[in-house]
């Protein structure tokens, strides 16, 4: 009797164990790990947490992985190809960072390109300007990128109390930008060939400008260059006719942290008789901000001419447009109703500044 009673109990226990095992297996199959994204250029997957390990896979920048297990500095992940292994936590970022990067790209999908540059080294593409901010994608050394916007950020080592800002007089009697109380550095919002967007340190990007134009920078930093038009020119040595681009260059002082994006423009036209670039127009002392746009417009008897439009900030912070036209080889301002009064005021201000500078010089 005792034996017969124990059989049903044993049977029930085995059945319960089978049910629990099946449900556990179903739960394991349905389980999806916490998502994360690879922020390093390339990461090896380790089969174990030890100094000596076997490589069981390779993760690439931007790939989505699933976190299966966590240790102190390492996590065990599953790659998109089903590979499982251990990687350091510092090589991964959260889905929130990925979403922020994706939003940055979408928000700037239609932002006009101000310049094209070449990365001096491998660069992190940050979500916001700053060396300590989150980053996901990378730009390879030598890669070509599109420059969209400029911003400034405090240097990591520059958190201190500095003396008040001081203005230095210019030879024309005006003022240069004040030296910032806290040292700042410039950042570019860039877009890579895969249409990823992110902020990179500006000094690590070379603006892609022809050498024939770059040699006239005269100590200024070229931050953008635009092709306004092309003119046919016969090469004196080969006799071959070629199309030579004419440029608008946008420059600034060779200093980070300035309150403007640029303060000078210069238009270079091609002299077909001397076969060289010449300065057709130059304007200084601008408080210019991006974007700068170029285009074409029909002007009555002059016909279809290249144009460019600047955005300039006034002393009270208001931003207004200035349009110019190139009627080879002359550049003139295109005045809208009411612009003439503003133009006269600007001219009077420049004349007064020069007179004041001359009086100071004569009194010394």
DSSP conformation letters of 154-210:
E-TT--S--PPP---B-TTS-B-PPPPSS-EEEEEEEE-TT--EEEEEGGGEEE---
Query: What is the mean predicted confidence (pLDDT) over 254-259?
Result: 94
pLDDT at 186: 97
Range of lowest pLDDT (169-183, 189-203, 313-327, 344-358): 169-183
Domain with 289 in it: 210-364
Same structural domain for residues 130 and 63? no
pLDDT at 180: 58
Q: How far apart are CA 204 and CA 61, in angstroms?
A: 20
Same structural domain for residues 216 and 363? yes
Same structural domain for residues 99 and 168? yes
pLDDT at 348: 76
pLDDT at 173: 44
pLDDT at 93: 97
CA Rg value for the chain: 31
**Helix (H, G, I), strand (E, B), or coil: what is residue 349?**
helix
Same structural domain for residues 204 and 327? no
Q: How far apart are CA 116 and CA 127, in angstroms?
A: 20
Same structural domain for residues 336 and 362? yes
Taking the alpha carbons at both ends of the chain, their separation in whole angstroms is 125
Query: What is the mean predicted confidence (pLDDT) over 27-34?
Result: 50
> Which of 163, 183, 208 is the endpoint of a domain?
208
pLDDT at 178: 58
In a domain, 294, yes or no: yes
Same structural domain for residues 302 and 251? yes
Banded model confidence at residue 30, pLDDT cuts 50, 70, 90: very low
Same structural domain for residues 184 and 133? yes
Banded model confidence at residue 289, pLDDT cuts 50, 70, 90: very high
Taking the model in full, what pTM does it have?
0.77
Which is more confident, 77 or 173? 77
Single out the residue of 254, 233, 255 nearest to residue 242, CA to CA.
Answer: 233
**Helix (H, G, I), strand (E, B), or coil: what is residue 20?**
helix
Length of the chain: 364
pLDDT at 38: 97
pLDDT at 356: 81
Same structural domain for residues 218 and 364? yes
| Share above pLDDT 70 across residues of the chain, in percent, rounded to a whole number | 81
Q: Quick one: DSSP state of residue 275?
A: T
Range of lowest pLDDT (21-35, 58-72, 96-110, 342-356): 21-35
Strand partners for 329: none
How many independent structural domains does the chain possess? 3
Q: How far apart are CA 360 and CA 34, in angstroms?
A: 70
pLDDT at 353: 74
Placement of tokens 């460019």 in the chain: 308
Judge contact between 256 and 152, C-beta under 8 A: yes
| Share above pLDDT 90 across residues of the chain, in percent, rounded to a whole number | 70
> Over 50: is that where the pLDDT of 25 sits?
no
Going by C-beta distance under 8 Å and a sequence separation of 6 or more, which residues neighbour residue 212? Answer: 277
> Which of 179, 208, 237 is the endpoint of a domain?
208
pLDDT at 359: 83
Same structural domain for residues 89 and 195? no
**Helix (H, G, I), strand (E, B), or coil: what is residue 222?**
strand
Query: What is the mean predicted confidence (pLDDT) over 282-302?
Result: 94
Distance, C-alpha 5 to centroid of its chain? 79
């Amino acid at each position: 009797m005792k034996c017969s009673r124990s059989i049903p109990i044993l049977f029930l226990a085995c059945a319960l164990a089978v049910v629990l095992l099946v449900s556990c297996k179903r739960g394991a199959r349905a389980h999806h790990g916490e998502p994360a994204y690879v922020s390093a250029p390339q990461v090896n997957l380790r089969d174990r947490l030890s100094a000596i390990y076997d490589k069981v896979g390779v993760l690439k920048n931007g790939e989505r992985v699933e976190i299966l297990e966590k240790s102190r500095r390492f996590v065990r992940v599953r790659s998109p190809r089903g590979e499982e292994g251990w990687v350091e936590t510092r090589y991964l970022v959260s889905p929130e960072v990925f979403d922020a990067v994706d939003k940055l790209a979408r928000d700037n999908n239609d932002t006009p390109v101000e310049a094209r540059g070449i990365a001096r080294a491998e660069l992190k593409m940050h979500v916001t300007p700053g060396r300590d901010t989150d980053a996901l994608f990378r730009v390879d050394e030598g890669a070509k990128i599109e420059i969209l916007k400029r911003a400034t950020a405090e240097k990591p080592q520059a958190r201190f109390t500095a003396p008040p800002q001081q203005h230095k007089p210019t030879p024309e009697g005006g003022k240069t930008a004040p030296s910032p109380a806290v040292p700042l550095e410039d950042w570019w919002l860039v877009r890579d060939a895969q249409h990823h967007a992110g902020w990179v340190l500006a000094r690590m990007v070379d603006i892609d400008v022809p050498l024939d134009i770059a040699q006239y920078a005269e100590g200024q930093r070229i931050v953008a260059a635009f092709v306004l038009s092309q003119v046919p020119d016969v090469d004196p040595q080969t006799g071959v006719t070629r199309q030579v681009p004419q440029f608008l260059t946008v420059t600034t002082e060779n200093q980070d942290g300035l309150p403007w994006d640029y303060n000078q423009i210069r238009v270079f036209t091609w002299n077909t008789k001397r076969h060289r670039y010449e300065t057709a127009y130059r304007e200084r002392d601008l408080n210019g901000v991006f974007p700068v746009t170029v285009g074409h417009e029909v002007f009555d008897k002059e016909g279809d001419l290249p144009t460019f439009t600047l955005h300039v900030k006034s002393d009270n912070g208001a931003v207004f447009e200035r349009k110019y036209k190139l009627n080879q080889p002359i550049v003139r301002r295109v005045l809208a109703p009411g612009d003439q009064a503003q133009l006269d005021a600007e001219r009077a201000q420049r004349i007064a500044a020069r007179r004041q500078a001359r009086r100071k010089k004569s009194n010394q």
